[in-house]
Each structure stands twice: as structure tokens, then as C-alpha cells.
Structure 1
Amino acid sequence: MSTLMSGTVVAQAITIGFSFALTRLYAPEEYGRYAIFMGCAAVLATASTGAFDRVIILEKSRFEARRAATMVLVLAFNAAIAISIIGMISYFTGLSAFLPLTDYDLIIFIPTFMICYAGAQIFLYASLREDRIKRYAGVKVGQSLLMGSIQVGISSLKIVPGLIIGTIAGWLLLFVAGLRWRLGCGELRRDLKFQVLRAFGRRYRRYPRYIMPNEVLDSLSNQAPVFLIGTFVSLAVAGHYGLALLMLSAPAAVAGQAVAQVFMQYMGRYGDDPVELRSMMVRIWLAMVLIGLIPFGIILFGGDDIFGTLFGSNWTEAGRMAQCLSVLLLARFASAPTSTVYLKLGMQREQWHFCLAAACYRIATYGLSAFGVDIDTILLLHVVVEVSAIVLYNLVALRRLYMLELISLRSEGA
């Protein structure tokens, strides 16, 4: 796991390092289009796998893992063809004019990304299954290097979307690795038979029925803001928002994942003791707040100057947005490592309700841009609502732990 984290850290560092150059080579409008493309592609790619990729790691049989990889590739290819056809229909009917995407995005780039994403997921879960983490970490670093190099290299060719093409090239590397693993398993022609795929789908229908909707909803709620900003405000503002969120989220996500792994191990050891679990959660929150207070505080009071210096004078607006979002990102940073406690406590239904509520209030908040509400007001409203939701999310978990403690004390007294 430490190798995976190290590879992820290096890959993130490479991506951020290239950003210092890319923001001087690409305009905010180009970043806006890129952010919207990635948002739409991420939602569609998540849905296209049917969550069958989880079978690769969760099922012990290599036979089932092999068929899961085949199912993922088949679903992704079919979904990509469907999106491409929809893109051509929207082009000929003129409907594409109402979307902040180009015709090439829908017809070529998003379908290609969906296929690459499917292969990448196969490679990820196959690497975890076979404990070949070092291989995966190396490919992730190679992906970041290839992606950044191509984005920088073709930046002068303004007739092509360099950010998008570079990203697809990087994900293509992961797709090739995933495809190689599947081909190495053999029996591809047999597994591609319709009867085999149908039987597999019926056997594991709980994955697309229960896991996929949660993941798609979570992805949609995270990507909706940039899409709505690009649609109703401008691509430039969407680009500023995307860069601000990326720079605040990426380093925090790496640290948060490391702490989350420790918390999951702790839950496995002491998860049946509500007092210990509650104490651990509070200690993690306090530690994460103390760790994040200085970096997020610096952004809060000087984000516009910092972004202007690091990324160029065109990006001071992104720094100002980062100032607005810094309190929210600090709250996410502190809360994220313990969010898996809902699974331990059997609170999946409550977690689904919070996920649904997040999608609703994010879409509603950023949808205000359609009525002429300025972006500063929208960001402030988003921060207030989501920080309140994060606090409520954790209070509900603490209340459940308190109730379990009372039940434990009563049973001991009896």
C-alpha cells in the first residue's frame, strides 16, 4: 500500500509541476473546456463499466476476474459507440449548440476516454488482486509524464485541444496495460459469447444495481458545478474554478487517503468498541484540522497573489476562487478519512441520503447561475451549505456510536 501511495504522490506531483507551465500555455477558456470535458467523461465512464470492475478484486476466482474484465470492456465499447451516435445526432440536429462541448468531444474524445477508462480500471484492480502494486505505481507515473509532455508539446497547435488529447494519451497507456492483462488470461473468444456475458451479468447483477448508481451520483454531484458554470457563466470562469479545485484537492486527497487507510485498519481492529471508534474519529479530525490549518489558511488570505505568481497573471481569478473554497476544502480534508465509518456501522442507507442531498444542493446552488446570480455569491452559498452538511454527516455518525455505547452499557448492566 505504501508503494501505491508513493506512486500516487509522485504522479500528483508531476501533474502539479506541469500545471505551472500549462497555465502559461493555455488560456482559462481552454481550461474551462477541458474541465467540462473531464467532468462529462468521468460521469459517463463511471456508468459505462457497470461497476463490474469490482468483481476483479472482490471475487477469489481468477476465472470470474477474467470474465469481469471482458464484461467491462464490452460494456465500455458499446457505451462509447452509443455516445458517439448521440453526438452525431446532436450535430446534425443542431442540439450540440446548447452544450458547452464541441462536436468532436461527443463524437470522438469522450467515447475514446470511456474505453481507455475501462482498461485503466481493469489494470488497477488486477494489480491490486495480484499484489503487483509497484507495476501499477510505475505506470501511473508514466501516465502523468506522457500526459503532461504531450499537453506541453502540442500547446502551440491551437487548432487541436492539447489538454484533452494529452489526457487521452495518458489514459491510453493504462488501457493498454489493462488490455494486456486480459489478453494474458486467455479464453477471450469464449468469454465474448453473448450467452457467457449474459450469465455473468445475471450472476453479478447486484454490482450495477447497487454500486454503480452510488458512484455515478457521486461523480455527477462533483462534476455538475463546473458544467453549470461553463454553460451559464463562461468557459473562462469554469477554467478558473477547475484549476482552483484541482490545486486545493489533489495534495489534500493524497494525504487524506493515507490517513483513511490507517483508520480502516483501526476499524478492523477496534470497530466493535464504539467508545474507541468515536475517540479515534475525534482525534483524526483534530489532527487533520491542525495539519491543514496553515496551508489552507495561507490560501484563504493570499490565494489570488499565490496563484498569480505560480500560474501567471491570467489566473488571479482562480486564486480568488480558491480563497472562497479554502474553508470547504479544509472541512473535506478533515472529514474524508473517517467517512468510511458509515459502512462499518451499517449506515449505507443514510450515506445514500447524504450523497443524494449533495447532488441536489450542488446542482441547485450552481444552477442559480442560470438566473444571473454572480459566481461569488454562489461559491459562498456552496461553502456554507456543504460545510453544514459535512458537520451534520459526522454528527449523525457520532450519534449512532453514542447509541451503540448505551446499548452496550445496558447489556453489561443486565
Structure 2
Amino acid sequence: MSGADPATTTDVLPAAPRTAPRRPGARRGVAEIVLGTVLGQGLLIAAAPVLARLYSPADFALLQIFTGVVSVGAVLAGLRMDLAVPLARDVTEARAVVRAGLAGTVVVAVAIWLLGLAGAGLWAVNATLADLRAAWWLVPPTVAVIAVFQLLSAVLVRAERYRDLAGRNALQGVGTAGAQLGLGFAGLAPLGLLLGMGVGRAAGLASIARGGLFPPPAAGRREPVTAGQVYAAVRRFRRFPLVTTWTALLNNTGQYAPYLLFSLTYGQNPTGWLAFTSRLLALPATVVGQAVAQVFLGRGASARRDATGDLPRLTWLAVRRLALVGAGPAIALSLAGPWVFGWVFGAQWERAGSYAQLLAVAFLAQFVASPVSNVLNLVERQGLALGWEAVRLVLVVGVPWLVWALGGSDLAGVAAYAGVLVLSYGGVLVLVRWVLRHG
């Protein structure tokens, strides 16, 4: 389940300069992706009050920890080759990059399944983790489908095929909502929430496959990718698996570790309230921020390949306009969170509304900073990103834990978590500014 802020924009990034080769306009690209995402995620927004009554806070606690596990697994599985696809010099190299990512996905998904089963006796230490152990059979296929989804989506980003990305986003939302609602009404909780992730990505993959990936060759049959070409592509982009993978791993761990911490300290219901609230607040990043990130990555990669010097302008215009789009909803939620949650989702979720008040500014910072964080990959300064993510991981786990150890309430823990998020995303913007100035 996820939710959305209704505010959207079709004017976040500028059109290409008049002197550049003509490509699909960034405004149009954002608009198309946002439309597809709104169609898909709109179903989840509409379904959220129903899902809040079909599933309990404990179910959402399990979903969030399951999501963290498969997200971390997908990062390892794809070797971050999805980020290398837009930077490939030609179609042959792009195909080789995709082949490398697919091979890594198979190996890592199987390894995660075996390691998780072997160590389950050590990590299944509370009720939520025991439920995760029972659902571990779902982890490998979900890891694989997410990794492949990201990898093949990068091909569309490379070609700036925004309409296809929009169709993918729409079908992903339809698949997720359909699975979670259908299985919820069938009484299969919490399984319906977990299956919805994989079903949604699989529906999006079906959309991508139907439209094809690479344009047909101008002359005859396309030659198959050789092992040597795959090796050469991996060698050229080796910093993505060797450095960026660990940056993304730290990022995802930092994003989901607080939920594990809440599960081990405050229990199932506070973890479920935090998970439910975070999913609702994160949807603006899904609807608008993700669209901007995909267009920004495509246009930014083009600017780097063509050496136009346009990357700083694209970056700061995106930051300013995202801030304008997100500020109003964040203020409104800060003022009326508990009342809105209790009225829309039911009395058991009123406490989650108090969490929303505390987290509104933090998710505004995420909404603004996340899309432009790709600058660090575009200019291949992965080491900086890795170091900052390590600091962030320590803070998002250590500060809320310290609050709990000192006897703080769950609201105090959420407030500490929110403060760390604001600091960490502000730090990302500082790093981006420094890199754009100093290279």
C-alpha cells in the first residue's frame, strides 16, 4: 500500500536548450510519467482506507520489514547496472550492461534465499520477524522481479521513452492494488500485502516487454552479445557494482533499519503506524519525485555524454520547483495529521496521524533531495555518496535508539527519526552543490 499527495506538476524540469539536439521535452516527459504514476498510484490512494481496515498495524509492520529485505536484496542482485545503462555509449554496450545485471540477479536471489533460511534461527527473534521467516519463500522471486524491473526500466530512461515509463507505472499500481485488495478480501492477511509488491512489478514488466527494449538494427539481424562484451562493459562501469552498490545498500538499509529498530524496541503497533504513515507520505516522491528522477537521470546523462554543461541548471531548477510543489501539503499535514488519519482510516490509525505531523517536513526534504542525488552517480563521485550514506545509517539507527534507551516514548522516537532525515537529505543537497562546483 502507498498513498499520495495530490499535488503534481508538469513543469519541474526545463525543456532542452534550443541549441541542443531535439529530444522529448522534459516538461512533457515529467507530465507523461506523472500521469501514468497517478493512474496507478491513484488506485492505491483510493484503496488506502479499505486496506487500513483489511489489514492491521502488525501486517503493515511486516510489510515494511519485508520491503526493506527485498529492496536491499534487489540492490545487490542488480549490481547497480541500471545506473550504467543510460551512460552506455551505444546499444551494444547497453545490451551488455543489461546482460550483466540479469546474471547477477539470478545468482544473488538464490544466495539470499539460502542464507536467509540457514540463519533464520538467529534473526527471527520477535513476532514480526517470525512472520517474515514464514514468508521467506516470497523473498527470492520478489528480489528478482524488482531487480529486473529496475534494470529494464533503465533502458526506457536511456531512450527517454517517457510514455512507456508512464504505462509501466500505471500497470504497476493496478497490479499492486488488485493483489492487495483481492487477497485482503479473501482473508489472506498479511500475505496480500507482501504479494502485492511482486505482482505490481510483474505487471509493469509485462508492459515493458510488450513495447520492446532496444530499437531494431538498421541492417538485418542483431548480433548476440558476447561474453567479452559483457566483461568489457562490467570493467568500464566497475565502480557501479564495486562502489555504488554499497552506497545504495547503505541507503536502503538506512531507509528501512528504523522499522526493524521500532519492531525490536516499541513493538508491532508503533512499527505498523510508522510504516503506514511513511508509505503515505512517500507517495509524492513516487508520483512526482520518481518521475522527475527518471527524466533528470535521462537528461543529465545526455548532458554528460554531450558535454553541454547543462547539469547544474537542470539540478537547481528541479530543486526549486520540487520545494514549491511539496511545501503546501507538508504544512497542511503538520497542522491536521491526527484528525485526517482518524477520520479517513479509522480510529486505530489516529496515532499514525501524530507520526505524520512529525514526519511531514522530513518527507518534504526527501521529496526535494532524492531526485537530484543522482548527480553523484552522473559525475561518478560514488565515493562521496558512499561515505554520506554510512553516516546517515549510523544516525537513523543510533539517534532513535538513544531516545528509546533514555526512556523516550514512541512519539519521541519518531521525532528523533524525523530530525535525522531532515539533516541527512540536507547533507545530500550540500554534497551535490559541492560536486557541481568542484567536479
Matched to 2:124, the amino acid is S
Deviations along 1:321-380, one digit per CA (max 9) or x if unpaired, are 001111222334455565566678887654443322211100212334773542222222
CA distance in 1, matches of 2:368, 2:350: 27
Matched to 2:145, the amino acid is C
Structure with the larger helix share: 1
Deviations along 1:15-56, one digit per CA (max 9) or x if unpaired, are 222212111111111111011101111111111111123343
Q: Which moved more, 1:329-338 or 1:227-236?
A: 329-338
CA distance in 2, matches of 1:198, 1:284: 36
Write out aligned runs for 1:79-90 (5 A).
Answer: 79-90=108-119
CA distance in 1, matches of 2:253, 2:291: 25
Which residue number in structure 2 is paired with residue 213 of structure 1?
246
1:96 aligns with 2:130: no
Matched to 1:87, the amino acid is G
1:298 aligns with 2:332: yes
1:7 aligns with 2:36: yes
Which residue number in structure 1 is paired with residue 264 of structure 2?
231
Q: Quick check: 1:29–1:239 contact (8 Å CA) kept in 2?
A: yes
Which residue number in structure 2 is paired with residue 142 of structure 1?
171
Deviations along 1:154-207, one digit per CA (max 9) or x if unpaired, are 1132366111112221222234556775799999997697x7765654454232
Q: Quick check: 2:79–2:245 contact (8 Å CA) kept in 1?
A: yes
Q: Which structure is larger by alpha-carbon Rg, 1 or 2?
A: 1
- 5+ residue gaps, structure 1, are 405-414
Matched to 1:298, the amino acid is A
Which residue number in structure 1 is paired with residue 361 of structure 2?
327
Q: Quick check: 1:228–1:369 contact (8 Å CA) kept in 2?
A: no
Which residue number in structure 2 is paired with residue 122 of structure 1?
151
Q: Quick check: 1:341–1:397 contact (8 Å CA) kept in 2?
A: yes
Which residue number in structure 2 is paired with residue 54 of structure 1?
83
How far does residue 73 in structure 1 lie from its aligned partner after superposition? Answer: 2.1
How far does residue 263 in structure 1 lie from its aligned partner after superposition? Answer: 11
Write out aligned runs for 1:20-35 (5 A).
Answer: 20-35=49-64
Q: Which moved more, 1:337-346 or 1:222-231?
A: 337-346
Q: Quick check: 2:53–2:345 contact (8 Å CA) kept in 1?
A: yes
Deviations along 1:370-406, one digit per CA (max 9) or x if unpaired, are 73542222222233344345455556766788x88xx
Which residue number in structure 1 is paired with residue 418 of structure 2?
383
Which residue number in structure 2 is paired with residue 247 of structure 1?
280
Q: Quick check: 2:86–2:158 contact (8 Å CA) kept in 1?
A: yes
1:364 aligns with 2:398: yes
Matched to 1:96, the amino acid is A
Structure 1 residue matching 2:119: 3-state secondary structure = helix
CA distance in 2, matches of 1:277, 1:183: 30
Which residue number in structure 2 is paired with residue 409 of structure 1?
none
1:133 aligns with 2:162: yes
Matched to 1:362, the amino acid is V
How far does residue 83 in structure 1 lie from its aligned partner after superposition? Answer: 1.6
1:374 aligns with 2:409: yes
Matched to 1:121, the amino acid is Q
Structure 1 residue matching 2:115: 3-state secondary structure = helix
Which residue number in structure 1 is paired with residue 98 of structure 2?
69
Q: In the superposition, relative to structure 1, how do residues 84 and 188 fare at CA in structure 2: closer, same or farther (>3 Å)?
A: farther
CA distance in 2, matches of 1:364, 1:200: 39
Matched to 2:191, the amino acid is P
Aligned length: 397
Which residue number in structure 1 is paired with residue 344 of structure 2?
310
Matched to 1:78, the amino acid is V
CA distance in 2, matches of 1:249, 1:147: 16
Q: Which moved more, 1:249-258 or 1:284-293?
A: 284-293
How far does residue 74 in structure 1 lie from its aligned partner after superposition? Answer: 2.0
Q: Quick check: 2:98–2:152 contact (8 Å CA) kept in 1?
A: no
Q: Quick check: 1:39–1:227 contact (8 Å CA) kept in 2?
A: no
CA distance in 1, matches of 2:300, 2:188: 51
Structure 2 residue matching 1:154: 3-state secondary structure = helix
Q: Quick check: 1:119–1:174 contact (8 Å CA) kept in 2?
A: no
Deviations along 1:94-142, one digit per CA (max 9) or x if unpaired, are 6534672522433x11111111112212331222334443233223212
How far does residue 277 in structure 1 lie from its aligned partner after superposition? Answer: 6.0
Q: Which moved more, 1:117-126 or 1:182-191?
A: 182-191
Q: In the superposition, relative to structure 1, how do residues 330 and 167 fare at CA in structure 2: closer, same or farther (>3 Å)?
A: closer
Q: Which moved more, 1:95-104 or 1:158-167?
A: 95-104
CA distance in 2, matches of 1:206, 1:151: 38
Write out aligned runs for 1:330-341 (5 A).
Answer: 330-336=364-370, 339=373
CA distance in 2, matches of 1:273, 1:147: 37
Matched to 1:9, the amino acid is V
Structure 2 residue matching 1:317: 3-state secondary structure = helix
Q: In the superposition, relative to structure 1, how do residues 124 and 285 fare at CA in structure 2: closer, same or farther (>3 Å)?
A: closer
How far does residue 64 in structure 1 lie from its aligned partner after superposition? Answer: 2.7
Matched to 1:33, the amino acid is L
CA distance in 2, matches of 1:225, 1:204: 32
TM-score (norm 2): 0.76
Write out aligned runs for 1:120-199 (5 A).
Answer: 120-155=149-184, 156-158=186-188, 161-176=191-206
